[in-house]
Amino acid sequence: MAKITRITTQKKHKNRYNIYLDYGDGEDYGFSVDEDVLVKYRLQKNMELDKPTIEALIQTDDVHKSFTLALNYLSYRMRSEKEIRDYLHKKEVESEHVDEVVERLKDHQLLDDQEFANSLVRTRVNTSSKGPLLVKKELQEKGIHVSQAEEALQYYPYDKQYEKAMKFAEKKAKSEARKSFKQLVQTIQQNLAQKGFKGEVIQEVLANLPGEDEDSEWTAAEFQGEKLLRKHARKYSGFELKQKVKSGLYRKGFDREVIDRFIEEKCDE
């Protein structure tokens, strides 16, 4: 048995206390505990503790410290269970303590993967241009089960998906105005797919884009064709130069009529 001889407050951590013990051969430092543990177990001077009790107190305090770590991690934003577990393992918390902390967080309704998933989807809808497939992927990377991710995606309805995808497409159409209409459509389609939008949304967006405009197509062909001319005129001339420009414009999605017009107006000057 050991007797508590002194209980002192730590200088740097006012909510933690050092417990000094005497096993019969003089006072020595025993262990430290958080204030909550001190109060819960009513630790006080002259109290006698056996070895199993001391070990239990130390373990209880370790769990309490881990729980406090988790609470601090949660104070910045909601977390998934996987994020909490990964964080505590990174902090070298023992696996059995991690399990206990997770269960305690759930008991206090501070950890709920479904609510976390719902919240993340709502946030992404309001703050990002990600489509639902990318959001779902993000949820799964954070340890959210497929069924929970699917349920959370109800907060990303079709009309919101279309609105975001169309907004992106319109912005892209302005910034890529010097591309052929065909290449522009392909670019928008690829970009929307990369952003995680589903096929049916992409197709509806493309169907509702303004159609090909003859003047805009010619302006784009002039821009791209003159670039090709500058590039190939250093090595080619005559028929070979025309063929290089023709094939380049074709690869960029321009129709034969526009290409022939460019060759006639620009390459025969």
Buried b (16+ CB within 10 A) or exposed e, 190-218: ebbeebbbeeebbeebbeebeeeeeebbe
Q: What does the pLDDT read at residue 77? A: 94
- Assess whether the region 2-77 and the region 158-207 belong to the same CATH fold: yes
Over residues 169-189, the mean pLDDT reads 92
Cα 241 to Cα 245: distance, rounded to the nearest angstrom: 6
**3-class SS at 80?**
coil
CA distance 152 to 119: 8
Region 184-204 average pLDDT: 96
- The torsion angle over the Cα atoms of residues 89, 94, 97 and 103, rounded to 10 degrees, is 30
Query: Would you kindly state where each structural domain of the chain is located, as residue ranges?
Result: 2-77, 113-155, 158-207, 217-267
Q: What pLDDT, on a 0 to 100 scale, did the predictor assign at position 264?
A: 85
* Angle separating helix axes 238-251 and 214-232, nearest 10 degrees: 130
Please tell me the predicted confidence (pLDDT) of residue 38: 93
**Residue 257: band (very low, low, confident or very high) from pLDDT cuts 50, 70, 90:** confident
At residue 178, what are phi and psi to the nearest 5 degrees?
A: -90, 10
Q: What fold is seen in the domain 2-77?
A: Arc Repressor Mutant, subunit A (1.10.10)
Measured CA to CA, the distance from residue 135 to residue 196 in angstroms comes to: 8
At 228, list the tokens. 């090709």
Task: Please state the rounded mean pLDDT for residues 228-256.
Answer: 86
Lowest mean pLDDT across 30-39, 84-93, 160-169, 215-224: 215-224
**What band does 268 get if pLDDT is binned at 50, 70 and 90?**
low
**Going by C-beta distance under 8 Å and a sequence separation of 6 or more, which residues neighbour residue 254?**
180, 182, 217, 220, 221, 224, 262
Name the least confident of 6-10, 45-49, 197-201, 217-221. Answer: 217-221
CA 266 to CA 205: how far, in whole Å?
35
> Does residue 241 have a pLDDT over 90?
no
Architecture of domain 113-155 in CATH? Orthogonal Bundle (1.10)
Mean pLDDT score of the chain: 92
Element (H, E) at 3: strand 2-9
Q: What would the CATH number be for the domain defined by 158-207?
A: 1.10.10.10
- Number of neighbouring beta carbons within 10 Å of residue 56: 13
Coil vs helix vs strand at 45: coil
